């Protein structure tokens, strides 16, 4: 039967209908068409136009409908009776010469329901095919030879069928999705067969998408926050860089070290100090700080990758944005110290165990390399190793089960422990001394608990609060970005939240125990590294699924940015510039001279090219041993007094900042010896107030 012009126009109009409208029309046609229309040519939906989903029913309900005979399902043990008669006059009557197209559903299947969330996109129009020839003989077609199916659910016409193979089918939506997934896997397998260089080029030239642009904006903002402030080398920076220069000279040329740095530095002197010294030789302290910035940018990217694996893309972008604006990240990214590479290596280890959590192969053991390097770079990173081991366990729960996940965590810990123990044994006893004095047996201070808690709240309170909100929602009211079957149960989610939130409290708890806030502004960032993914998830849930409360997210980000700007500005200007002090000491330097400077590291670093001011000639007020002209030995404050009495120092400079008690005794000794006189005072304003250096020199004949 040929189609009229009205039918052709109606069929063409349906090509622009939405999936919802087409699903509604299919449901009406299946339930309301008259009997005389049911005898006409069936209405068919193409394989790409999947719209209507029915409840699960027998997979045998696959029928080819012909005009003049009842259909028989494929593989059914007995024929299924035809649908009940519907009087033509009861509803929607029409002329018999122009019957409406129809979709016939087996009587075994209940009334259709719409599942619009699972419907696949429309890509082909609905059309009416001509009446098949030899309609008096029904034919059946084996679906298993052309399309996989498990359950009934979707009305479909395979695109590869000819007109005489028209059939109404009920196929599971998930079966189609699995088919597409297998097709994508086959395409990836074909791509992997290409030469490696072509695969690398195709990966490098991939077009960036929206999330890459957002991540690039986050990294740009982080770089601006770290580079906006500048000052001369901080005491720790100067110590690490000049020790790196000495270590590098000792390794390459066999030059003397003048000091055993491994006994009192908080990290292995042959790791970051050497790397920082190489950067310093290229571009000075700015290049060394730029190296730290690259490490922190890499840590932000790894935070994004970890959060994307666990909570999805939106939470990952928010986590990266929050992490990049924290005080610790912005400050450490502009400071040439151990902390930036240690944070990056911990983040790399965490990403490895999360990335390979579902792999049947033990690739997660690769994490021991960055873990060992992180602990070697900064010994305090050992405090966060258990968190990485816990991530290895929780990430594998849904794939490998509870016991095998625990085996993964234990095996990773054993390999890491064996590797670190072997390296320390090879390094020698001096490294054990350094680990003990700076980390495991660190001396206690006198800072009050309230003061430490106040600083912790300023530097990490906002992110911790968001992480706590995210933890509560993730455990009791979760919304998964991926398949819920791939997510751990409530107990597993609760364990993961406890690990991430507890890690954020490790550094503050340790320093509360010691009653000291030394380097707390840096150490708090180690814990926030692991709390950031949970904070991103919490902010995502507070904003809403469709950005209903986007103003709340903007307000949080503005507050985080303002706190970061003000806090990093204060920290970068907390120490005085050493430019004037270095110029003064350089002016009074003499061959074989001796110089007493309260904070000696910046002076040693700045005068490393002066042959009259070698590192061993510059002494700090922290520790000193002296033997007087009569052969008597002194240590501590008495050593400084005896040295001044014997005119040992050419220049003495102090500012009552780090060792105020020793400075007072030094001043008394200087006033008692008339060979010394005050030559200048250097006063500078810092974020903590005013700092004044008092510079005394020893009078020499002919000196003006």
What does the alpha-carbon distance between residue 654 and residue 657 come to, in Å, rounded to a whole number?
8
Token pair, residue 358, equals: 């579902």
Q: What pLDDT score was predicted for residue 99?
A: 47
CA–CA distance, 288 with 337 (Å, rounded to integer): 9
Q: Distance (Å, rounded) from C-alpha 517 to C-alpha 453?
A: 10
**CA triple 74-75-81, angle to 5 deg:** 65
Does 547 fall in a domain? yes
Name the phi and psi angles at 424, rounded to 5: -70, -35
DSSP string covering 197-255:
HHHHHHHHTPPP-HHHHHHHHHHHHHHHHHHS---SPPHHHHHHHHHHHHHHHHHHH--
User: Does the pLDDT at position 58 exceed 50?
Assistant: no
Distances (CA, A) of 325 to 225, 287, 460, 476, 529: 8, 22, 11, 29, 12
pLDDT score for 170? 42
Summarize the confidence of residues 261-268 as an average pLDDT: 92
Q: How confident is the model at residue 489 (pLDDT cuts 50, 70, 90)?
A: confident
Q: What is the pLDDT of residue 407?
A: 93
Task: Count the domains in the chain.
Answer: 3
3-class DSSP string for 460-476: HHHHHHHHHHHHHHHHH
pLDDT of residue 198: 65
Closest to 352 measured CA to CA, from 306, 418, 403: 306
Look up residue 53 and give its DSSP letter: B
Residues 219, 151, single domain; the answer is no
Q: What is the pLDDT of residue 64?
A: 41
Residues 343, 525 contacting (CB under 8 angstroms): yes
pLDDT in tens, 91-107: 444 444 444 444 444 44
For residue 625, list its beta bridge partners. 635
Same domain, 615 and 543: no
What integer is the mean pLDDT of 364-393? 96
For residue 125, pLDDT over 60 is answered with: no
Residue pair 82/67 in contact by the 8 Å Cβ criterion: no
Q: Kindly report which listed range (134-148, 220-234, 256-270) carries the lowest average pLDDT score.
A: 134-148
Mean pLDDT lowest among 117-126, 310-319, 361-370, 684-693: 117-126
Mean pLDDT to the nearest integer, 156-175: 49
- Compute the average pLDDT of residues 670-698: 92
Residue 656 has pLDDT above 50, yes or no: yes
**Is there a contact between 129 and 103 (Cβ–Cβ < 8 Å)?**
no
93-115 per-residue burial string, b: 16 or more CB within 10 A, e: under 16: eeeeeebbbbbbbbeebeebebb
Do β-strands 625-627 and 618-619 pair in parallel, antiparallel, or remain unpaired? unpaired
Distance set, CA 253 to CA 246, 247, 250, 384, 609 (Å): 10, 10, 6, 37, 17
Task: Please check whether residue 205 lies inside any domain of the structure.
Answer: no
The Cα 319–Cα 321 span in angstroms is 5
Please, what is the end-to-end C-alpha distance for the chain in angstroms?
Answer: 120
The share of the chain scoring above pLDDT 70, in percent, equals 69
Could you tell me the two tokens for 377?
Answer: 């770079």
Could you give the 3-state DSSP secondary structure of residue 393? helix
123 lies in the same domain as 215 = no
- The pLDDT confidence band at residue 664, using thresholds 50, 70 and 90, is very high
pLDDT for 584 equals 93
* CB neighbour class for 232 (10 Å; exposed up to 12, middle 13-18, buried from 19): middle
Q: Which of 399, 274, 410, 413 is nearest to 341 (CA)?
A: 274
Is 145 a domain residue?
Answer: yes
Closest alpha carbon to 561 in 295, 231, 326: 326
Q: What is the pLDDT of residue 12?
A: 47
Please state the rounded mean pLDDT for residues 218-230: 94
Residue 141, class by beta-carbon neighbours within 10 Å (0-12 exposed, 13-18 middle, 19+ buried)?
middle
Domain boundary among 556, 572, 588: 572
What is the spatial distance between Cα 142 and Cα 34, in angstroms, rounded to a whole number?
Answer: 29
Residue 279 lies in a domain: yes
In a domain, 490, yes or no: yes
| pLDDT score of 484 more than 60 | yes
Confidence class of residue 203 from pLDDT cuts 50, 70 and 90?
low
Pairing outcome for strands 676-686 and 689-698: antiparallel
Judgement on whether residues 565 and 616 belong to the same structural domain of the protein:
no
Q: What is the domain extent for residue 686?
A: 579-698
Which of 107, 141, 171 represents a domain boundary (last residue)? 171
Q: Quick check: 348 pLDDT over 90?
A: yes
| Residue 1: per-residue pLDDT | 45
pLDDT of residue 488: 83
For residue 24, the model assigns a pLDDT of: 53
H or E stretch covering 374: helix 368-377
- In the predicted structure, residue 35 carries a pLDDT above the cut 60: no
Distances (CA, A) of 588 to 242, 511, 643: 22, 41, 19
Please check whether residues 217 and 349 belong to one and the same domain: yes
Instruction: Please indicate, yes or no, whether residues 324 and 408 belong to a single structural domain of this protein.
Output: yes
- Closest C-alpha among 45, 33, 44, 162 to residue 98: 33
Q: What are the backbone dihedrals phi and psi of residue 464, each rounded to the nearest 5 degrees, phi first?
A: -65, -40
- Give the range among 198-202, 374-378, 581-585, 675-679 with minimum mean pLDDT: 198-202
CA gap 384, 507 in Å, rounded: 9
Helix (H) or strand (E) holding 163, with range, is none
CA distance 485 to 357: 15
Per mean pLDDT, which range of 69-83, 395-409, 454-468, 595-609 is the poorest? 69-83
Give a yes or no: residue 95 inside a domain: yes
In angstroms, how far is CA 157 from the centroid of its own chain?
A: 45
Using an 8 Å Cβ cutoff, are 328 and 529 in contact? no
- Same structural domain, 23 and 135: yes
With respect to residue 627, please indicate whether it lies within any of the assigned structural domains.
yes
Q: Are 602 and 519 within one domain?
A: no
pLDDT at 179: 58
Check whether residue 163 and residue 257 sit in a common domain. Answer: no
What was the pLDDT predicted at 548? 86
Residue 439 token pair: 């980390």
pTM over 0.95? The answer is: no
pLDDT above 70 for 351: yes
Distance CA 493, CA 486 (A): 12
**Residues in a beta bridge with 606:** none
Q: Which residue has the tokens 């990240």?
A: 329
* Same domain, yes or no: 566 and 585: no
Model confidence pLDDT, tens digit, residues 167-194: 444 444 455 555 555 655 555 555 556 6
Of 101, 60, 57, nearest in space to 80 by CA: 60
Burial of 211 (0-12, 13-18, 19+ CB in 10 A): middle
What pLDDT is attached to residue 385?
A: 96
Q: SS3 string of 510-548? A: HHHHHCCCCCHHHHHHHHHHHHHHHHHHHHHHHHCCCCC
C-alpha distance from residue 241 to each of 191, 287, 525, 648 (Å): 47, 11, 22, 28
Q: Lowest-confidence range among 64-68, 291-295, 506-510?
A: 64-68
Q: Supply the CATH number for residue 694's domain.
A: 3.40.190
Q: Measuring CA to CA, how many Å separate 686 from each of 225, 284, 330, 521, 579?
A: 20, 23, 19, 17, 14
Q: Is residue 443 part of a domain?
A: yes
- 618 contact partners, CB below 8 Å, separation of at least 6: 595, 597, 600, 603, 604, 607
The pLDDT of residue 675 is above 60: yes
Average pLDDT score over the chain? 79
CA distances from 434 to 170, 260, 342, 424 (A): 72, 10, 17, 11
Q: Which of 257-271, 346-360, 405-419 has the lowest mean pLDDT?
A: 257-271
| φ, ψ at 627 (rounded to 5°) | -115, 120
- Contacts of residue 162, defined as CB under 8 A and 6 or more positions apart, other chains included, come to none
Q: How far apart are CA 396 and CA 404, in angstroms?
A: 8
Counting every residue written for the chain, the total comes to 704
Sorting pLDDT into bands at 50, 70 and 90, what band is 437?
A: confident
Q: What pLDDT score does 161 carry?
A: 52
Q: How confident is the model at residue 6 (pLDDT cuts 50, 70, 90)?
A: low
In tens, the pLDDT along 534-576 reads 999 999 999 988 888 999 999 999 999 999 999 999 999 999 9
Q: Which of 520, 541, 572 is the last residue of a domain?
A: 572
| Whether 469 and 592 share a structural domain | no
Q: Kindly state whether residues 552 and 611 are assigned to the same domain.
A: no
Question: Is 139 or 675 the better-scoring residue by pLDDT?
Answer: 675
| Owner of token pair 């990430």 | 395
Mean pLDDT of 12-41: 47
């Amino acid at each position: 039967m040929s189609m009229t012009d009205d039918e052709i126009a109606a069929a063409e109009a349906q090509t622009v209908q939405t999936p919802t409208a087409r699903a509604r029309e299919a449901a009406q046609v299946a339930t309301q068409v008259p009997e005389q229309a049911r005898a006409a040519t069936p209405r068919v939906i193409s394989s790409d136009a999947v719209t209507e989903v029915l409840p699960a029913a027998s997979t045998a309900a696959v029928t080819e409908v012909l005009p003049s005979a009842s259909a028989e399902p494929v593989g059914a043990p007995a024929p299924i009776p035809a649908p009940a008669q519907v009087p033509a006059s009861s509803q929607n009557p029409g002329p018999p010469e122009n019957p409406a197209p129809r979709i016939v559903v087996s009587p075994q299947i209940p009334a259709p329901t719409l599942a619009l969330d699972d419907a696949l996109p429309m890509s082909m129009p609905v059309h009416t095919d001509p009446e098949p020839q030899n309609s008096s003989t029904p034919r059946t077609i084996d679906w298993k030879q052309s399309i996989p199916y498990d359950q009934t659910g979707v009305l479909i016409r395979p695109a590869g069928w000819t007109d005489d193979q028209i059939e109404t089918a009920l196929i599971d939506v998930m079966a189609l999705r699995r088919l597409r997934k297998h097709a994508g896997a086959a395409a990836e397998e074909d791509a992997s067969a290409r030469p490696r260089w072509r695969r690398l080029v195709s990966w490098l030239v991939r077009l960036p998408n929206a999330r890459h642009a957002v991540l690039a904006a986050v990294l740009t903002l982080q770089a601006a926050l770290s580079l906006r402030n500048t000052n001369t080398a901080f005491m720790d920076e100067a110590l690490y860089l000049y020790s790196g220069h000495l270590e590098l000279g000792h390794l390459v040329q066999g030059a003397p070290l003048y000091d055993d740095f491994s006994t009192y530095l908080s990290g292995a002197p042959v790791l970051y100090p050497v790397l920082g010294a190489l950067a310093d030789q290229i571009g000075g302290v700015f290049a060394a700080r730029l190296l730290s910035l690259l490490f922190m940018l890499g840590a932000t990217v790894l935070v994004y990758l970890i959060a994307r694996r666990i909570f999805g893309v939106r939470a990952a972008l928010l986590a990266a944005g929050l992490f990049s604006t924290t005080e610790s990240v912005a400050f450490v990214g502009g400071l040439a110290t151990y902390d930036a590479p240690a944070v990056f290596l911990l983040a790399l280890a965490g990403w490895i165990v999360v990335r390979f959590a579902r792999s049947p192969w033990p690739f997660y053991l690769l994490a021991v390399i960055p873990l060992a390097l992180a602990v070697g770079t900064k010994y305090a990173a050992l405090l966060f190793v258990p968190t990485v081991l816990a991530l290895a366990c929780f990430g594998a729960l849904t794939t490998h089960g509870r016991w095998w996940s625990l085996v993964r965590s234990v095996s990773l810990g054993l390999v890491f422990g064996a590797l670190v123990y072997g390296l320390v044994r090879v390094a020698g006893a001096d490294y054990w001394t350094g680990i003990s004095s700076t980390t495991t047996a660190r001396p206690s201070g006198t800072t009050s608990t309230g003061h430490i808690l106040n600083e912790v709240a300023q530097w990490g309170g906002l992110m911790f609060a968001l992480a706590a909100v995210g933890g509560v929602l993730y455990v009791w009211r979760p919304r998964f970005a991926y398949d819920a079957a791939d997510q751990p149960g409530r107990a597993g989610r609760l364990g993961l939240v406890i690990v991430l939130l507890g890690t954020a409290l490790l550094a503050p708890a340790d320093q509360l125990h010691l009653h000291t806030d030394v380097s707390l502004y840096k150490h708090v960032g180690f814990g926030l590294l692991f709390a950031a993914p949970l904070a991103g998830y919490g902010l995502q849930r507070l904003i809403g699924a469709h950005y209903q409360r986007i103003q709340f997210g903007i307000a949080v980000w503005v507050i985080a940015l303002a706190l970061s700007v003000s806090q990093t500005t204060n920290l970068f200007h907390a120490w005085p510039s050493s430019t004037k002090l270095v110029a003064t000491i350089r002016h009074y330097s003499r061959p074989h001279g001796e110089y007493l400077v309260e904070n000696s590291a910046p002076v040693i670093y700045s005068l490393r090219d002066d042959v009259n001011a070698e590192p061993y000639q510059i002494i700090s007020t922290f520790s000193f041993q002296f033997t007087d002209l009569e052969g008597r030995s002194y240590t501590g404050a008495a050593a400084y007094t005896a040295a001044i009495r014997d005119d040992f120092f050419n220049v003495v400079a102090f500012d009552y900042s780090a060792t105020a008690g020793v400075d007072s005794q030094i001043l008394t000794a200087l006033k008692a010896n008339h060979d010394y006189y005050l030559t200048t005072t250097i006063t500078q304003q810092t974020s903590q107030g005013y700092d004044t250096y008092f510079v005394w020199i020893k009078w020499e004949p002919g000196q003006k």
